Structure 1
Amino acid sequence: MGQTLCADASANSDRPIGLSDFDYDTVTDLLGKGQYGLVYSAKNTRDGSRVALKVMAKAKVDSMEALMEEVEILMHINHPHIIKCFDFFSDDDNYYLTSEIMGGGELFDRIVSRHHYTEADARNLCLILINTIAYLHDADIVHRDLKPENLLMMSNDDDASVKIADFGFARRLEGGTASEKCGTPGYVAPEVIKQEPYGVCADVWSLGVIIYIILCGYPPFHHAKMGTLFKLICRGQFKFYDEEWSSVSSEAKDLIKRMLTVDTRQRITARQALNHPWLQMDEEELNKNGMKGTLAQLRRFNLKRKFRAAVHTAIVTGRLQRLVASLPSNQD
């Protein structure tokens, strides 16, 4: 076991929650990393429940305003397919955010573990994602970093338990637009690359990229050189290659085209997408479209994605060690 950090919890359940209410392991139970810090598995000593505890070093937080906006959004939205957050508190050195543990891993890992995969499976999953993004957009919230790594599974037993996570770049637009250049290359919308004012439709583009990958196993825009990749995105230059796409319905391809439309005035909205014919098609009909080739492609794509993530994790190891050293330890 790694170093365990804990403190005696007060018997007074009415007092504000704080670090002393959690008992967590700083090494073996590291769950991941977010924009500002590291996430650990923790036990709430008040009720025994397990939570994810995100630890953010104050010295590493560039914008307190951005952090508080993330917290405010997460604490006030309520949707079955968005990660649920419980508490936010701080001490002299760190901020702490607690949320539900996503014990089922990443969505793409779940897909590639399947032995049978059809267009109906893909469509039902995409319906959940589009519905969830429509909920956010109805509340004038833009996520701004939709990508496979931020689509997590609540359970190992339920293939529909997907939830959207990591709201570090999320903003409440309140009828306005955003202008910051943020997101992940390959998923970012053309208007963000061009540093034009943009709205919630930037998420629709990112989700269109994800749906493309879910249906064929590789991204619509890819190039080793970042500049060339961005040019392809800004031109909306992608293809449906016959080897993977010949067995996919024309309705699915039409929705992707509408989501990956460069002109934001012509791009379909998430709410409009819910009425698209593909999402209304008969499941039995779509079940006929097996996608064995897509699974093979998706497994290759997922391995490459995991390798890049492992390299990045190695780079931030020093940051992890410094943050762990800053946490309060037991005085046994």
Structure 2
Amino acid sequence: MIQTAAPGEFTHRCAKVSFDSIYNITEDLRRGRFSVVKKCIKKDSSDEFFAAKIIKKRHLQQALNELRVFQLSCKHPNFIKLYQVFDLPTEAIFILEYAKQGDLQLILELEGYLEESQAIHITKQVLEAVAFLHENKVIHLDIKPQNILLMEKWPSTEIKLCDFGLSRILTNQCLLEISGTTDFLAPEVVNYEPLTYATDMWSMGVLIYVLVTGHTPFGGTTALNTQSNIAQCILDFPEDLFEKISKTCIDLIKNLIVRIPKHRITANVSLKHPWICSNEEILLKNSFDYENNDNDNNTLLSTINNNQYENNNN
């Protein structure tokens, strides 16, 4: 693997000894399409845990993509850290920071959905991580609760974004991909159209929708049905799910889940949105009045920070 990269690109990460001489694997943590992640412990320590991500060499490109993002992401606190690489004949092993509290999907399965204050706490950190990636010409392409790791006890926790196997560095070349998790795919992915930073922002809108309701906005009975719903982009806010959700939350979702990519707000603009900047007291006073929300064009952006948003989107 190292030999296929640029000379010396990853050699400083590559271990000089065997994996088995340093670590013992204790249990499986997660399995993906390109890799498996196992919990491991250092043999000379009883309480120093790591996550070993094992990638088969047939998925070489995904491994190299991920390594290049790890080289960059070490500069930001909301990304999982890479410590070491074992370059073996048939596979590569990445030694990663271990998230002892698991991922955000586990919380959603236990609680169903998050309180808005909790969702804001999570979303703000994810947006900061995504903004950093975009500023460095990287799109993540797989933003979802399973890839948001919890570093401390819930709910007062720092989160870290992980899994860069699908991430891409944007160049002048047209990027076309059909990959990702179905419920979080943007229309341009489904339709095999060029991908941009806005592709991640669609996924951020879906993420917020999922966090505050426990439901996906376009979920169908099959993957093909879900993709068809995404392509049509008919965004609905059912009263039974949104009667207690704030107007500002719905407004942010509406400005992210937009069919035309260039009309979605950016990560940096999202971080300035009233919902991200709000607090629990404001949210309680600003509960969503569903009956007065029939006009989709009447969003908060017409009354709050209108000039700021328009200037940032030009």
Change (3 A) 1:281 1:156: closer
- Are the aligned partners of 1:119 and 1:290 in contact in 2 as well (CA < 8 Å)? no
Query: Which residue in the other structure is 1:40 paired with?
Result: 38
- Are the aligned partners of 1:52 and 1:100 in contact in 2 as well (CA < 8 Å)? yes
Q: Give the whole-Å Cα distance in 2 for the aligned partners of 1:93 and 1:84.
A: 24
TM-score (norm 1): 0.74
Q: Give the whole-Å Cα distance in 2 for the aligned partners of 1:166 and 1:36.
A: 10
Q: Give the whole-Å Cα distance in 1 for the aligned partners of 2:113 and 2:212.
A: 13
Query: Which residue in the other structure is 1:160 paired with?
Result: 157
Residues paired across the two proteins, number? 273
Change (3 A) 1:41 1:111: same
- Are the aligned partners of 1:118 and 1:286 in contact in 2 as well (CA < 8 Å)? no
Bigger mean CA deviation after superposition, 71-80 or 207-216:
71-80
Deviations 1:24-60 (A, max 9, x none): 13xx5122223322222222347773211122233xx
Query: Which residue in the other structure is 1:305 paired with?
Result: none
Q: Give the whole-Å Cα distance in 1 for the aligned partners of 2:44 and 2:248.
A: 51
Could you tell me which runs of 5 or more consecutive residues in structure 2 were left unpaired when the two chains were aligned.
1-13, 289-314
Query: Which residue in the other structure is 2:61 paired with?
Result: 65
Change (3 A) 1:167 1:194: same
Deviations 1:199-221 (A, max 9, x none): 12111111111100111121100
1:150-299 superposed matches below 5 A: 150-156=147-153, 159-174=156-171, 176-286=173-283
Change (3 A) 1:17 1:262: farther
* Amino acid in structure 1 at the alignment position of 2:62: A
Q: Give the whole-Å Cα distance in 1 for the aligned partners of 2:125 and 2:151.
A: 14
What SS does structure 2 have at the residue aligned with 1:265? helix
Deviations 1:104-152 (A, max 9, x none): 0121323554699532222222112212211111111111111222122
* CA shift for structure 1 position 198: 1.1
- Are the aligned partners of 1:75 and 1:86 in contact in 2 as well (CA < 8 Å)? no
Q: Determine if the alignment matches structure 1 residue 138 to structure 2 residue 135.
A: yes
* Amino acid in structure 2 at the alignment position of 1:69: N
- Are the aligned partners of 1:133 and 1:270 in contact in 2 as well (CA < 8 Å)? yes
- Are the aligned partners of 1:21 and 1:46 in contact in 2 as well (CA < 8 Å)? no
* CA shift for structure 1 position 231: 2.0
Q: Give the whole-Å Cα distance in 2 for the aligned partners of 1:136 and 1:261.
A: 21
* CA shift for structure 1 position 159: 3.0
Among all aligned residue pairs of Structure 1 and Structure 2, give the percentage whose two residues are the same amino acid: 27
* CA shift for structure 1 position 67: 1.7
What SS does structure 1 have at the residue aligned with 2:260? coil
Change (3 A) 1:242 1:116: closer
- Are the aligned partners of 1:208 and 1:260 in contact in 2 as well (CA < 8 Å)? yes
Q: Give the whole-Å Cα distance in 2 for the aligned partners of 1:158 and 1:212.
A: 19
What SS does structure 1 have at the residue aligned with 2:68? helix
Q: Determine if the alignment matches structure 1 residue 16 to structure 2 residue 16.
A: yes
TM-score (norm 2): 0.78
Q: Give the whole-Å Cα distance in 1 for the aligned partners of 2:214 and 2:88.
A: 44
- Are the aligned partners of 1:186 and 1:229 in contact in 2 as well (CA < 8 Å)? yes
- Are the aligned partners of 1:212 and 1:219 in contact in 2 as well (CA < 8 Å)? yes
Select the structure with the greater relative contact order (CA < 8 A; seq sep ≥ 6): 1
- Are the aligned partners of 1:18 and 1:90 in contact in 2 as well (CA < 8 Å)? no
Query: Which residue in the other structure is 1:324 paired with?
Result: none
- Are the aligned partners of 1:232 and 1:238 in contact in 2 as well (CA < 8 Å)? no
Query: Which residue in the other structure is 2:52 paired with?
Result: 53
Change (3 A) 1:175 1:283: farther
* Amino acid in structure 2 at the alignment position of 1:44: K
Query: Which residue in the other structure is 1:74 paired with?
Result: 70
What SS does structure 2 have at the residue aligned with 1:163? strand
